[in-house]
A and B are shown apart, each in its own frame.
Chain A
């Protein structure tokens, strides 16, 4: 058990590419931290630096109370689960699990005890004499997990461990992983590009983009209070809608005037809008925060739009719309809502849940930044 601490960690590859640009991350003991971000954003690089498989260009990494910058992987007391499992193909499952203990000169009896405990826990008891080749994907995955657990390390590192499983198995394994963490309480750092995994598994999640950490917070906070437009758009399916317009005032209160001319009256602010008045901004609204009826206690914040596609999904209805200024957005409605394709409708925004962003890919969320 240990906390893991990254301070100004940078990685510049030999070819001059800066994959991680000054990461600061404070992972508490027993915490399950998920690093999430699109492919190529530097997640794996970060994890490999923590593991010691990749040299650190600048900064410090601390595991427990020890700065591990110059400590080789085997002495960092961490275990890693690889995306493709990386099981030793010439060894049986038992030998795979026992390998690290054998290298650490554990007595035979102790190895046997630990391996059978872990095999029991992961339900791979009956596979111990098989070679990895003879196992199914899910079983290999468990062996890979077991190999990490059996060491009882200070921290687990996972690099997209579920991405090779089929969709159904992925969901069940995800739940098992969560239960396993509750049981073992080992500090875990989990890398994924899958936002559903991040939301469900993480005690906190760390959203990365372009080699930079965007936000570190518990899943619901990241979802409800994204610090910038990238984070807002990355989490959630369908993703948050972004509509262009201008920040202004109407009848003394702040308002967002969409390019179409529709006016959204915003919640009375703490003054966070005043530096942005009359500037081009972006309003972000999650699909589930759009309704066909005006919300009680809110001004009539409607957007006139045409319905392009209606997708009934059983538990909800995804509606694809185009505003008069040709801005596309998606609404997520009750499955029994009556709404017809090609009709002109007005969608209402829940302004308590909407966000105003500065323009640009990682434009700041000015709605939450003041509080």
Chain B
């Protein structure tokens, strides 16, 4: 019997005792049960993260020796920042020394640009699909939908050939351009914007809005919760993108975090400690973004536009 079993047994006994001693109010026992389940799930989700933190700060020599942390007596010896020191060391390359913060900047830059560009085109395309009537609209939508059924990997070879032919290899254009118009994003925005009453747009048109100011002043604020979610998803997608930079970028100084981190556990290396320390750092920017955007997810902004 290991510790997890013991833990579960204790919980079960606790529940039974509560249930037995509060026969008139069995509700209390159930409330406890609910919290216990929640705590268990939380533990399940957080355990790998905790493991990651432990691993990042453990001396590389004892990485596999303990599941989580070494005993307190060993801390002075076995807990240190050697992984991080290794991570931030200069890395010689063909373009000279490259430092870890360069990759962070690359990743941040690329993810931000991708997000901004995708936001721009998706929101405008979505607005057009939702609220304008133009010839061939149905065909366009059908074509877009059909294109969503083709898995991205299938397109890797043709797109690669295209990128090489137009001379965009080893530039960030190769990463930003192919995904600039996200069909998924356009449909997402279309769905959100379709729900905005036409009267609102017409009121704006009469009040003196140009078509662009209708979009900026009326539409965008109303799909703000959606926009926040879309930003986060897009940012994460780009931040975690491994295949793109791996395929299109050659210069070490232009690489992004996922590719660089992978180099530490590649064919020629197995510096897991450094890899995990880098991973830990790589989690921070998206986490910050998430907390910043969290309040944007509050929905229901558009209710009250019409009599409700």
User: Using a CB–CB distance below 8 Å, which chain A residues touch chain B?
Assistant: 51-53, 72-74, 78-80, 82-90, 99-100, 103-104, 131-135, 137, 140, 147, 151, 164
Q: Is the CB of B203 within 8 A of A80?
A: yes
Mark the stretch among B44-52, B176-184, B204-212 that contacts chain A.
Answer: B204-212
Chain A positions within 8 Å of B222 at CB level: 89-90
Q: Is the CB of B305 within 8 A of A164?
A: no
Nearest-Cβ distance from residue B47 to partner chain A, whole angstroms: 41
Nearest-Cβ distance from residue B215 to partner chain A, whole angstroms: 14
Asked if B148 is at the interface (CB within 8 A of a chain A CB), the reply is: no
Q: Is the CB of A89 within 8 A of B206?
A: no
Q: Is the CB of B304 within 8 A of A53?
A: no
User: Using a CB–CB distance below 8 Å, which chain B residues touch chain A?
Assistant: 197, 199-200, 202-210, 213, 217-218, 221-222, 224, 301-308
Chain B positions within 8 Å of A78 at CB level: 206
Chain A positions within 8 Å of B206 at CB level: 51-53, 73-74, 78-80
Chain B positions within 8 Å of A140 at CB level: 307
**How far is it, in angstroms, between the C-alpha of A73 and the C-alpha of B202 when the chains are bound?**
9
Q: Give the one of B199, B213, B217, B301 with max A CB within 10 A.
A: B199
Chain A positions within 8 Å of B217 at CB level: 99
Known interface pairs A53-B202, A147-B207. Does A86 touch B197 (Cβ–Cβ under 8 Å)? yes
Chain B positions within 8 Å of A134 at CB level: 304
**How far is it, in angstroms, between the C-alpha of A99 and the C-alpha of B216 when the chains are bound?**
13
Known interface pairs A86-B202, A88-B200. Does A74 touch B207 (Cβ–Cβ under 8 Å)? yes
**How far is it, in angstroms, between the C-alpha of A100 and the C-alpha of B205 when the chains are bound?**
10
Inter-chain pairs besides A51-B206, A88-B203, 16 sampled, C-beta below 8 Å: A73-B202, A74-B207, A79-B206, A79-B207, A80-B203, A85-B306, A86-B197, A86-B200, A86-B306, A87-B305, A88-B204, A89-B200, A89-B301, A133-B303, A135-B304, A151-B207
Known interface pairs A53-B202, A80-B203, A84-B197. Does A89 touch B209 (Cβ–Cβ under 8 Å)? no
Nearest-Cβ distance from residue A353 to partner chain B, whole angstroms: 41
CB < 8 Å neighbour of B199 from A52, A72, A74, A84: A84
Chain B positions within 8 Å of A90 at CB level: 221-222, 224, 301-302
Q: Is the CB of B307 within 8 A of A84?
A: yes
Q: Is the CB of A100 within 8 A of B207?
A: yes
Nearest-Cβ distance from residue B189 to partner chain A, whole angstroms: 17
In the complex, the chain B residue whose C-beta lies closest to that of A90 is B221
Q: Is the CB of A86 within 8 A of B304?
A: no
In the complex, the chain A residue whose C-beta lies closest to that of B306 is A84
Chain A positions within 8 Å of B208 at CB level: 74, 100, 103-104
Chain A positions within 8 Å of B308 at CB level: 133
Known interface pairs A53-B202, A82-B199, A103-B213. Does A89 touch B304 (Cβ–Cβ under 8 Å)? yes
